[in-house]
A and B are shown apart, each in its own frame.
Chain A
Amino acid sequence: MRIQPPAGGQSVFDHQPALFESFNVLYGTLWTLGALEQPVKETARIRNARLVDCGL
């Protein structure tokens, strides 16, 4: 691994829990609320993931 997570953590972002939480709150809000239907968001997510070769 290029950058070790902190003890007890799983990723580099566990070094900054408050910042990571801010990101996750926004991410969760965009997924669960808003004006777009879930399938539209998922389609965009998949297309983007393919483009950048993201395995998630």
Chain B
Amino acid sequence: MTLDAFPTWLPVGSDAAEPVDVFGLLPAGEEQLRRLVSAVWSADVDRATLEQCRDRIDALITGTARPPAPDRPTVAQRAAADFAEQFVLDPHGCTDEQMHALQDHFTPPQLATLTTAIAVFDALARVRAVLARPQEGTP
């Protein structure tokens, strides 16, 4: 999930179908939020892995999946995306086995980045899910 503008049911703007920079409406914290998101993407976990995690989270929260990436995910990317899924569904459900498996692929600093990234993606996806304008034909 990104900080991109999206149509919202919030009473802002003249055309409800037009995308709105919703995060720009924050009276405080917008700049800090953008810095955090930027820091996540520029840290020590590769972009493809972060995209796998982001897309898995988006699919879980929105109920819609993006087209799969052209390249098959690596074992490390699958482990990261599985961790992201468990984080969204039940963070206490992360098992010792799952956490140890992650350490086969990622260093502790990378796991700190990965966990922060997943938390940010989860939060942004939920904000968007709640504030986005419902599409025509959806309940």
Chain A interfacial positions (CB closer than 8 Å to B):
2-4, 6, 12-16, 18-20, 22-23, 25-26, 29-30, 33-35, 52-53
Contacts and interface: CB of A to CB of B under 8 A. Distances in A.
Given A30-B29, A34-B28, A6 B108 contact: yes
A13 B108 contact: no
A15 B109 contact: yes
Contacts of B62: none
Main secondary structure of the interface of A (DSSP, over half): helix
B53 interface: no
Contact of A2 (B33, B39, B96, B109): B96
Chain B, interface size category, equals 20 to 34
Contacts of A30: 28-29
Contacts of B109: 15-16
A6 B115 CA distance: 16
Main secondary structure of the interface of B (DSSP, over half): helix
Contact of B29 (A3, A18, A26): A26
B43 interface: yes
Interface string B18-33: 0000000011110011
Nearest to B29: A29
Contact of A19 (B32, B33, B96, B113): B113
